[in-house]
Amino acid sequence: MIDNKTATSMPRLSRATVRRIKLTALTIGAYTVGIVLALPFLWMVVGSLMPKASDLFVFPPKLQAPHFVNYLAAIDYMNLGRLVGNTLILVVANMALNITASVLVAYGFARFKGRGRSICFALLMSTMMLPWVVTMVPAYMLFSRFNMIGTYMPLILPAIGGTAFHIFMMRQYIKGIPYDLDEAARIDGCNSLGILVKIHLPNCVPILATMLIFSFNGVWGDYVGPSIYIMKEDMYTLSLGLQKFKTSNYTAPPWHELMAGCVMFGLPMVVIFLAAQQAFVRGIVTSGIK
């Protein structure tokens, strides 16, 4: 795993100075890269505190007292409370369904032998390769048959099946739990579901955290799904609401307030990332090691 012991090299040899210079250059270089890449992000925060939209176009930027009123204006204009409420409905429903389903399916794939299990698993994994545009049209038609266009159902129901990526991650994890634990529990009179709930889940907390974070982020920031299925403005999610805020008629977009909206939109994700970095990194890394 990623080890972050910052061990500065000890000046011991005659080559120590050379090494030190190299290290300093590396550090400076890395910081430069980091800051350059974070620049749009920093600009978003700085811009959100400017008193006027036009201040974002004055260079060099004038240092001014932070203007927190922008946030209130953005909240007011976008009706942020409703947007957050709508988005949270989707987030909570998706997380609950998706994680329950993914855990159950992963448990099945990890612990129960049945005919065609590996074929089923391969099929499931291959759905990860399926482009969303291919399923979009038939899914839309299906939902329109059930008169579900314009409701949250098309954005919630697909979670019942779980997500291939989550199932994969969870299965790998359960497979790593020794069988002895299962057997001990079974002898103590535990049934299969009991084993999952009482034995496996407590062992899976790190991976569950990863799944929670990823399904939260996926739904919270989703734009394509809501933009296809949601029409009524009072059902808008954050993505749609913010986009609407930008494209509504202005002679010039209120950039400072837009940036404030962006900061608020991104804030939960940044907090989650900083608070649960380990779980976050694990999710990304397991997707890369196959």
Chain residues 218-277 in contact with another protein, contact rule CB under 8 A: 220-221, 223-224, 228, 238-239, 242-243, 246, 255, 258-259, 261-263, 265-266, 269-270, 273-274, 277
From the list 11-19, 30-38, 69-77, 196-204, the region that binds another protein by CB under 8 A is: 30-38
- Choice between 40 and 178, CB closer to another protein: 40
Q: What is the DSSP string of 51-83?
A: SSGGGGG-SSPPP----THHHHHHHHHHTHHHH
Which DSSP state fits 8? P
Binding residue (CB under 8 A) for another protein from 64, 118, 278, 287? 287
Q: Measured between alpha carbons, how far is 50 from 48 in angstroms, rounded to an integer?
A: 6
Binding residue (CB under 8 A) for another protein from 11, 29, 81, 85? 29
Tokens describing residue 271: 């907090």
Binding residue (CB under 8 A) for another protein from 16, 18, 35, 275? 35
- Choice between 27 and 184, CB closer to another protein: 27
Q: How distant is the alpha carbon of residue 242 from its chain centre?
A: 18
Helices 164-175 and 277-288 cross at an angle (nearest 10°) of 100
Site map for another protein, 86-125, x if CB under 8 A? ---------------x--xx--xx----------x--xx-
Binding residue (CB under 8 A) for another protein from 13, 21, 26, 69? 26
Q: How far is the CB of 280 from another protein (least distance, A)?
A: 9
Binding residues for another protein restricted to 124-143, rule: CB under 8 A? 124, 127, 129-142
Q: How far is the CB of 188 from another protein (least distance, A)?
A: 25
| Ranges of H-type helices in 112-253 | 117-126, 132-145, 153-156, 164-175, 179-187, 192-194, 201-203, 205-220, 224-229, 238-247
Helices 80-111 and 238-247 cross at an angle (nearest 10°) of 140
From the list 66-74, 176-184, 202-210, 217-225, the region that binds another protein by CB under 8 A is: 217-225
- Choice between 16 and 130, CB closer to another protein: 130
Binding residues for another protein restricted to 141-200, rule: CB under 8 A? 141-142, 145, 158, 160-162
- Measured over the CA atoms of residue 12, residue 13, residue 19 and residue 20, the dihedral's sign is positive
Rounded to the nearest 5 degrees, what angle is found at the Cα of 108, between the Cα atoms of 155 and 134? 35
